[in-house]
Amino acid sequence: MNTDSREPKARRNRALIIGGSIGGLFAAHFLRRAGWDAVIFERSAGDLADRGAGLGITAELFQMMRRAGLKISRSLAFHVHSSIWLTQTGEIGCETDRGWHGSAWAIIYKPLRAAFPSDAYRTGMTLERVEQDESGVTAIFTDGRREHGDLLIAADGVYSTIRRQFLPGIEPRAAGYIAWRGLVDEKNLPEGAYDLLFDRSAFTLPEGELVVSLPVPGPENDMRPGHRRYYFIWYRPADATRRAALFTDASGRSHGLTIPPPLIRPDFIAEMKEAAKKGLPPILGEIVARAPQPLLQSITDMEAPQMVFGRVALLGDSAFLARPHVAAGATKAALDAGALADALEAAEGDIDAGLARYERERLAFGRAIVAHSRHLGAYLEAQLKPPAERNAAEMTRDPRTLIAEYGAPHLVHGVDPATLDG
């Protein structure tokens, strides 16, 4: 783009931010603090806080929240103090001091949303396409409305309309395994589960599979003992034929890479619970069998080869989707937003130079995090590969190494209590 963005302007630069989830909100906060007129356009008309579940917390995510002007209180996260390997017979195979901080999606989203001016957060606006010319960028919405700005940020998630416009064909790719997830109320746990499993995360390695489980807040993000829940995510290899069956409902309709929980076929749930009782450590098998409504998703990942297209920048999940093993989707989006604001500021008004710098930095970060998530899932992915394609190291997993490597590289999956505001 040839526009000379260094010319002094009488008006503030305007950023159109498409998507008002965690990534879009961080970007909007940071740009407004840097003097931009930043406006969010969100497709959903309802309250996003009604959705979501557990979310991995990092020290970096809290740093970004503080930068957005928010206080970091103890109630934003819960803590497990160690990680254990649970053997097939249900004993502790090893325990390490690898602790984790977790939270819930809504706990992070709500303060970001509450601190953002309502008149700059427009709901019920679905972007259809983007146009660019010498004067900047125009967002065109499905109802025909148009908005003009100096910069457009695509924070519209993994199925991004904007990425599909600029990078058709870059889509989430199925990794060859699926995940069953579920939650059981603390009071409904089988006998002995509390002493063995609470205050710890547990890693279990049934043949060719992986279960990660840990305590999480209860309904309404209740963190009081007795009111919490126990969460599990059970990764199981599934080839394309098996996945097609799992994600098709009883009426024969296929739902692609995920399926609304109530539409999961009851016979598949019964089969999964039976397999849990036979193949998991007894206490974990019993917990899985007690999960009232399991969720099912295909594990996918995605990387965009480019993040900037003229005055359009991809941010968060629209650019890179890592597998859940790294537990860092919200942190990645927040750090993208911080890096974008820094790059624009360093470029002293030259928006194109700022965007080029942002892309250089964040492509490298996105690639690294997706690569690590593939490494952590290689053991699961290898189970269905032909023998010639298997790497011996991928076929077996040492629990201690797995626990040490789990999570995102270069991020701190824990929060120093001394840094909390109260």
Ligand X SMILES: Cc1cc2nc3c(=O)[nH]c(=O)nc-3n(C[C@H](O)[C@H](O)[C@H](O)COP(=O)(O)OP(=O)(O)OC[C@H]3O[C@@H](n4cnc5c(N)ncnc54)[C@H](O)[C@@H]3O)c2cc1C
Write the interaction track for ligand X spanning residues 199-228; mark x where CB under 6 A is met and - where it is not: ------------------------------
Going by the DSSP 8-state scheme, the letter that residue 68 receives in this structure is T
Among residues 16, 22, 211, 341, the one that binds ligand X under rule CB under 6 A: 22
Binding segment toward ligand X, per CB under 6 A, in 154-162, 211-219, 244-252, 291-299:
154-162
> Whose Cβ is closer to ligand X: residue 255's or residue 385's?
255
Q: How far is the CB of 299 from ligand X (least distance, A)?
A: 13
**Burial class of residue 246 in the structure, from the number of CB atoms within 10 Å of its CB (0-12 exposed, 13-18 middle, 19+ buried):** buried
Q: How far is the CB of 313 from ligand X (least distance, A)?
A: 12
The structure tokens 């995605």 sit at: 302
388 residue type, one letter: A
Among residues 20, 176, 354, 407, the one that binds ligand X under rule CB under 6 A: 20
Single out the residue of 373, 294, 287, 385 nearest to residue 326, CA to CA.
373
For residues 324 and 418, give the distance between their C-alpha atoms in angstroms, rounded to a whole number: 28
Going by the DSSP 8-state scheme, the letter that residue 254 receives in this structure is B
Gyration radius of the chain over CA positions = 22
- 18 in contact with ligand X (CB under 6 A): yes
> Whose Cβ is closer to ligand X: residue 52's or residue 90's?
52
- 161 in contact with ligand X (CB under 6 A): yes
For residues 332 and 329, give the distance between their C-alpha atoms in angstroms, rounded to a whole number: 5
Which helix (H) or strand (E) is 404 found in, with range? helix 399-405
- 333 in contact with ligand X (CB under 6 A): yes
- 12 in contact with ligand X (CB under 6 A): no
- 153 in contact with ligand X (CB under 6 A): no
Strand 173-185 relative to strand 136-141: parallel, antiparallel, unpaired? unpaired
Tell me, by CB under 6 A, how many residues bind ligand X: 30
Cα→Cα distances 98→58, 95, 264, 401, Å:
13, 8, 35, 12
Grouping H, G, I as helix, E, B as strand and the rest as coil, residue 76 is helix
Contact 166, 312 (CB under 8 A): yes
Write the interaction track for ligand X spanning residues 36-75; mark x where CB under 6 A is met and - where it is not: -----xxxx---x--xxxxx--------------------
> Whose Cβ is closer to ligand X: residue 55's or residue 411's?
55
CA angle 58, 397, 198 (to 5 degrees): 50
Binding segment toward ligand X, per CB under 6 A, in 88-96, 238-246, 284-292, 327-335:
327-335
- 407 in contact with ligand X (CB under 6 A): no
> Whose Cβ is closer to ligand X: residue 136's or residue 324's?
324
Closest residue to ligand X: CB criterion: 316
For residues 204 and 201, give the distance between their C-alpha atoms in angstroms, rounded to a whole number: 10
Contact 105, 51 (CB under 8 A): yes
- 343 in contact with ligand X (CB under 6 A): no
Contact 200, 84 (CB under 8 A): yes
Contact 319, 294 (CB under 8 A): no
Residues 295-324 that bind ligand X (CB under 6 A): 316-318
For residues 261 and 246, give the distance between their C-alpha atoms in angstroms, rounded to a whole number: 11
Pull the structure tokens for residue 154. 């695509």
- 23 in contact with ligand X (CB under 6 A): yes
Q: How far is the CB of 179 from ligand X (least distance, A)?
A: 12
Going by the DSSP 8-state scheme, the letter that residue 192 receives in this structure is T
Q: How far is the CB of 322 from ligand X (least distance, A)?
A: 9
Q: In 10 A of CB 338, how many CB atoms?
A: 19
Q: How far is the CB of 252 from ligand X (least distance, A)?
A: 28
Residues 88-117 that bind ligand X (CB under 6 A): 105
Write the interaction track for ligand X spanning residues 279-298; mark x where CB under 6 A is met and - where it is not: --------------------
Among residues 82, 87, 88, 126, the one that binds ligand X under rule CB under 6 A: 126
> Whose Cβ is closer to ligand X: residue 51's or residue 360's?
51
**Residues making contact with ligand X (CB under 6 A):** 18-24, 41-44, 48, 51-55, 105, 126-127, 155-157, 161, 316-318, 329-330, 333
